[in-house]
Structure 1
Amino acid sequence: MPQQPLNPVDHEFCDRAKSHIQRNNDLFRHAIDSLPNPFYVIDVNTFVIQMANSATHDFGEIKEGTTCYELTHNRKSPCSGQNHGCPIAAVKKSIKPAVFEHIHFDKTGSPRYFEIHGYPICGKNGAVVQMIEYALDITDRKNAEAALRNANDNLERRVSERTHDIELVNAALHKEITEHKRTEKNLREHQQKLRSVTSELTIAEERQRRQLAIDLHDSIGQALALSQIKLSQVQQSIQDEEISGQLRDIHALLENAVQHTRTMTFELSPPLLNDIGLDAALEWLTESFQERHGIQTKFHNEQSEKIKDDDIRLMLYRIARELLINVVKHACADSVTVSIKSLKKAIKIEIVDDGVGFDPRQLKRRHHEEDGFGLFSIGERMKFIGGEFCIHSKPGHGARALILAPLRRTIPK
């Protein structure tokens, strides 16, 4: 049948339809050209690009028959492989959108990273015939991720190196600490041995003093006393006044020698110490210091249990004497009080003076000097027998020395 010519109304309708389609095409073109990233419509069977926006111009000119892999990959075959899979193949197979990451090369040959979003366009039979590809440029993100990975790798490397250095330092420090502990242990052992030797020498010296005092009393003392008796008998039989006067002078010299011998005996080891006890010896010691040095002394005795260890008695007596001598030499005191008191399995001796006092910290710093070493030596001797020694003082407020001693030594003799 011959085609009927269109009437004017039909011509007007067709013109309006064409105009409307053109406007829609222009609007669609304008819309896809406004997208900042490449936009393609690709035939899934031939991989030919059927439509693209202006953002694709960075990759070169799209001619009729140009495929996606030729434009963006400079390849002669579609993408494949696990690390560079083809979005078209994935969308065609699953009929679902897919996302891939690809490296595309622009027209200068420079690589750029893209996140490919593929969307299927299906035909009447439901099969995928075209795919919309929208490629998001993620080059900056990838570069940032790479920089972050490098920074992280560098950080991990530096941390590893630092950890290794710290481990070396820790190992060296541990070795040094171990060596220091070993040295401290050896030093403590040597100090204990030195303390033991020193104290044993002191005890041996005290025993010699006691033996010498006994010898003075039993030999020289008795000989002098017998000489006095014999001389008195001779005096009674002499009538000559001149000779009698000379004998009296000799008797006075003998009496003086007897007194000196008795004093030496008490200084070396007072008989009261062994015959009666430490309390009686300390009381005699305080009285003798008042007589000889003019310092007012007081003695308080609260001892109920006697010390049976001869060495401890001797040591405590000698320490008390040394402290009283220190009061006379350094304290400038007007009075001093000595007290002894029994505690549970121990004896406490206190010596308190009203002298000028001192700073005990300074004394510790100069314990090598005579006065400092004397107090240091007292402390060492007390440690040896399992006792304690401390001294409290401050300038202008006198001093208080405290001695705590066991009734028996806590270490073997």
Structure 2
Amino acid sequence: MADDFSEYFRLLSDLGNPVYYSLFLTITISVLIFLFFKYVLFPLRKKHIVEKKELELKNVRLMALFAELDPNPLIRVNADGIVIHINDAAKNLGKDAPIVGEKINKIIPSINFPIDDCIKKDQPVVFTETINNKFYSILFRGIAYLNIAQIYFDDLTERKQFEEELQSSKVKLRELSEHLRNTLEDERQRIARELHDGVGQNLHLIRLKLKTIEESQSKDFSEKDYATLFNSIESSINELKEIIYNLKPKNLDEIGLGPSLRILTKRISDETGIKGSIDIYGSEERLNKRLELTLYRLTQEALSNIVKHSMAKEFNIQVMNNKEIIKLLISDDGIGFDPADTNSKSNSSGFGLLNMQERISTYNGKLKIDSSQGNGTVIITEIPKEETINE
């Protein structure tokens, strides 16, 4: 027993014992691991946390800077849907009441979805909303690492108004096209009726008279018979001239715009009893045929509206031709009208004005209407000279 104890003590006191080597190695590794964690890993982790926070803070500052620079409204909310920040452009969304501190769904009713879920999932939501008479496309974007959401506004009011105006113009053009088709058909029927009732009847009478003479045994042909035939032929010629003139004024090609408008003014005055006058300022040089016809038709359209709707006693036409523009001004002392009423489909004068506008737009011109109930009407047409050079 004593020998065993001595042997055990000898082995324990022997420095070459492998147990000591294992123990030393274990302690050394443990110390090294401790030192690595304390002086390497922990500082790196701490540095990473600090850098991450600095980066998040930098991102927040950048987001705030971009938000302030953004001309469109921008709102930031927390997970509870409370507004925590807005840029200057967003201040107008709340009218007189402050926005910060309010629930976002009070300002934007369309935000009725779980905000915290969108934030946790970094989920974007896109929708539209009308706020204070402005139409916005809104992007709601959750930002999980900041536990907030940013709401971006894109003002589409002007684009929506443009689309509505474009759609309205398309409707007006369709209605104008329909009106022009109906007018063309009415004009065809009118010409057919005038040819049938006037020229046709006269030619029929001439034919019957000649047939009677042919079948008569008597060769006597009195002056009265000659006069009847002559008057019938003369009447037919005059009616044909009238129809042709209404289709295309011959004078316009021969004598130009100014003299043709003077003839038109006198003709309208004589036929309707409305006193008309015309003043021409500047050069009366010939314009290109297409432009002269356009201005002539515009005047015809305006005078037709005066005769049909204005109850005027007088009208005046002014033509101003200078180096830069050609201006046509037509005024009357009639009952006037509200220009907004011309949008009505049942208003025939509205189609006439729209037709005038379409004619002028070909030359990049402008049509202005100054009228109100009881105060007469002034229609001003302006066409830039350079738009007519290459016609």
Compute the TM-score of the two structures, normalised by the length of structure 2.
0.48
Compute the TM-score of the two structures, normalised by the length of structure 1.
0.45
